[in-house]
Amino acid sequence: MIVPFIEEHLRALRLPTMLNQYKRLAQGKEDRVSYLGELAGLELAKRQENGVRKRIIAAKFPVIKTVESFDFALQPELPKRRFAELLDCMFIDKRENVIFIGPPGVGKTHLLSAIGIAACTNGYRVLFATAAEMLMSLIAAKREDRLKQGSSGF
Protein backbone atom coordinates (compact mmCIF):
# COMPACT_ATOMS: atom_id res chain seq x y z
CA MET A 1 0.00 0.00 0.00
CA ILE A 2 1.42 3.37 -1.05
CA VAL A 3 0.53 6.12 1.39
CA PRO A 4 -1.45 8.88 -0.31
CA PHE A 5 0.36 12.19 -0.54
CA ILE A 6 3.79 10.80 0.42
CA GLU A 7 5.35 12.26 -2.71
CA GLU A 8 3.62 15.62 -2.20
CA HIS A 9 4.82 15.64 1.43
CA LEU A 10 8.41 14.88 0.45
CA ARG A 11 8.30 17.63 -2.20
CA ALA A 12 6.85 20.14 0.26
CA LEU A 13 9.53 19.20 2.80
CA ARG A 14 12.18 19.69 0.09
CA LEU A 15 13.58 16.18 0.44
CA PRO A 16 14.44 15.31 -3.18
CA THR A 17 16.75 12.39 -2.41
CA MET A 18 14.13 10.71 -0.24
CA LEU A 19 11.54 11.37 -2.93
CA ASN A 20 13.70 9.71 -5.60
CA GLN A 21 14.82 6.75 -3.49
CA TYR A 22 12.05 5.77 -1.07
CA LYS A 23 10.38 3.27 -3.42
CA ARG A 24 13.65 1.52 -4.24
CA LEU A 25 14.70 1.24 -0.61
CA ALA A 26 11.30 0.00 0.54
CA GLN A 27 10.76 -2.60 -2.20
CA GLY A 28 8.65 -5.40 -0.82
CA LYS A 29 8.32 -3.69 2.54
CA GLU A 30 5.18 -1.59 2.21
CA ASP A 31 5.03 -1.04 5.97
CA ARG A 32 8.16 1.10 5.63
CA VAL A 33 6.50 3.27 2.99
CA SER A 34 3.46 3.66 5.21
CA TYR A 35 5.67 4.60 8.16
CA LEU A 36 7.62 7.13 6.07
CA GLY A 37 4.40 8.63 4.71
CA GLU A 38 2.94 9.12 8.17
CA LEU A 39 6.21 10.56 9.45
CA ALA A 40 6.49 12.97 6.50
CA GLY A 41 2.88 14.06 7.03
CA LEU A 42 3.53 14.78 10.71
CA GLU A 43 6.69 16.75 9.91
CA LEU A 44 4.91 18.80 7.26
CA ALA A 45 2.02 19.60 9.61
CA LYS A 46 4.41 20.67 12.38
CA ARG A 47 6.41 22.90 10.01
CA GLN A 48 3.21 24.54 8.81
CA GLU A 49 2.02 25.05 12.39
CA ASN A 50 5.36 26.58 13.39
CA GLY A 51 5.30 28.86 10.32
CA VAL A 52 1.82 30.14 11.19
CA ARG A 53 2.89 30.75 14.80
CA LYS A 54 6.01 32.67 13.69
CA ARG A 55 4.03 34.79 11.23
CA ILE A 56 1.45 35.66 13.89
CA ILE A 57 4.18 36.71 16.34
CA ALA A 58 5.97 38.77 13.67
CA ALA A 59 2.71 40.53 12.72
CA LYS A 60 2.59 42.30 16.10
CA PHE A 61 -1.17 42.09 16.49
CA PRO A 62 -2.41 44.19 19.43
CA VAL A 63 -4.86 41.38 20.25
CA ILE A 64 -5.19 37.85 18.94
CA LYS A 65 -8.80 37.60 17.80
CA THR A 66 -10.60 35.31 15.40
CA VAL A 67 -13.82 35.76 13.50
CA GLU A 68 -15.44 33.01 15.59
CA SER A 69 -15.20 35.19 18.69
CA PHE A 70 -16.81 38.25 17.06
CA ASP A 71 -20.47 38.91 17.86
CA PHE A 72 -21.97 40.02 14.55
CA ALA A 73 -25.32 40.59 16.30
CA LEU A 74 -23.81 43.69 17.92
CA GLN A 75 -22.98 45.14 14.48
CA PRO A 76 -25.99 44.29 12.29
CA GLU A 77 -25.03 46.88 9.64
CA LEU A 78 -21.70 45.11 9.04
CA PRO A 79 -21.82 43.27 5.68
CA LYS A 80 -21.07 39.82 7.10
CA ARG A 81 -20.91 38.14 3.69
CA ARG A 82 -18.39 40.70 2.39
CA PHE A 83 -16.32 40.28 5.53
CA ALA A 84 -16.36 36.48 5.15
CA GLU A 85 -14.99 36.92 1.63
CA LEU A 86 -11.98 38.75 3.06
CA LEU A 87 -11.03 35.71 5.13
CA ASP A 88 -10.04 33.78 2.00
CA CYS A 89 -7.31 36.43 1.46
CA MET A 90 -7.97 36.71 -2.28
CA PHE A 91 -7.78 40.50 -1.89
CA ILE A 92 -4.06 40.07 -1.22
CA ASP A 93 -3.43 38.28 -4.50
CA LYS A 94 -5.55 40.89 -6.28
CA ARG A 95 -3.52 43.65 -4.56
CA GLU A 96 -6.66 45.25 -3.18
CA ASN A 97 -6.68 47.42 -0.07
CA VAL A 98 -9.00 46.90 2.87
CA ILE A 99 -9.82 49.83 5.13
CA PHE A 100 -12.14 49.72 8.12
CA ILE A 101 -13.51 53.05 9.30
CA GLY A 102 -15.76 53.60 12.28
CA PRO A 103 -16.02 54.94 15.80
CA PRO A 104 -14.16 53.34 18.71
CA GLY A 105 -15.54 50.10 20.06
CA VAL A 106 -17.27 48.71 16.98
CA GLY A 107 -14.77 45.89 16.39
CA LYS A 108 -12.39 47.22 13.74
CA THR A 109 -9.26 45.94 15.48
CA HIS A 110 -10.92 42.60 16.24
CA LEU A 111 -12.00 42.04 12.65
CA LEU A 112 -8.73 43.22 11.13
CA SER A 113 -6.84 40.94 13.52
CA ALA A 114 -9.06 38.07 12.38
CA ILE A 115 -8.26 38.83 8.74
CA GLY A 116 -4.56 39.07 9.60
CA ILE A 117 -4.60 35.73 11.39
CA ALA A 118 -6.38 34.18 8.39
CA ALA A 119 -3.65 35.61 6.15
CA CYS A 120 -0.92 34.20 8.43
CA THR A 121 -2.65 30.82 8.33
CA ASN A 122 -2.71 31.01 4.51
CA GLY A 123 1.05 31.61 4.39
CA TYR A 124 1.15 35.41 4.06
CA ARG A 125 3.39 37.65 6.12
CA VAL A 126 1.47 40.36 7.93
CA LEU A 127 2.33 43.53 9.84
CA PHE A 128 -0.38 45.11 11.96
CA ALA A 129 0.03 48.87 12.33
CA THR A 130 -2.30 51.67 13.24
CA ALA A 131 -2.58 54.78 11.10
CA ALA A 132 -0.77 56.70 13.87
CA GLU A 133 2.11 54.19 13.85
CA MET A 134 2.43 54.40 10.08
CA LEU A 135 2.37 58.20 10.20
CA MET A 136 5.06 58.30 12.89
CA SER A 137 7.19 55.89 10.86
CA LEU A 138 6.81 58.04 7.75
CA ILE A 139 7.73 61.18 9.70
CA ALA A 140 10.84 59.45 11.09
CA ALA A 141 11.80 58.17 7.63
CA LYS A 142 11.43 61.66 6.16
CA ARG A 143 13.50 63.15 8.96
CA GLU A 144 16.22 60.54 8.32
CA ASP A 145 15.95 60.96 4.53
CA ARG A 146 14.95 57.31 4.07
CA LEU A 147 11.79 57.85 2.03
CA LYS A 148 13.74 57.80 -1.23
CA GLN A 149 15.02 54.29 -0.36
CA GLY A 150 11.50 52.89 -0.69
CA SER A 151 11.21 51.92 2.96
CA SER A 152 9.04 53.55 5.58
CA GLY A 153 10.70 51.65 8.40
CA PHE A 154 8.07 48.92 8.58
The yes-or-no verdict on residue 132 having pLDDT over 60 is yes
Q: 45 and 70 in one domain?
A: no
Is 117 domain-assigned?
A: yes
Q: Which of 12-16, 50-54, 123-127, 148-152 has the lowest mean pLDDT?
A: 148-152
Handedness of CA 148, 124, 130, 90 (dihedral sign): positive
pLDDT for residue 55: 97
Q: 109 and 64 in one domain?
A: yes
| Last residue of one domain, picked from the residues 58, 78, 100 | 58
Q: pLDDT (tens digit, 9 = 90+) per residue, 61-110? A: 988 988 889 988 888 888 888 888 999 999 999 999 888 888 898 888 89
Domain count, the chain: 3
Is 113 domain-assigned?
A: yes
List for the chain the helix, strand, coil content (%; round to 5): 60, 0, 40
Is 115 domain-assigned?
A: yes
The yes-or-no verdict on residue 2 having pLDDT over 60 is no
Is 133 domain-assigned?
A: yes
Higher pLDDT, 70 or 148: 70
Q: 81 and 54 in one domain?
A: no
DSSP letter at 79 equals: -
Alpha-carbon gap, residue 116 to 59, rounded angstroms: 8
147 pLDDT band, cuts 50/70/90, is confident
Domain that holds residue 68: 60-123
Q: 36 and 49 in one domain?
A: yes
4 pLDDT band, cuts 50/70/90, is low
Is 1 domain-assigned?
A: no
Buried b (16+ CB within 10 A) or exposed e, 89-125: beeeeeeeeeeeeeeeeebebbbbbbbbbbbbbeeee
Q: 99 and 65 in one domain?
A: yes
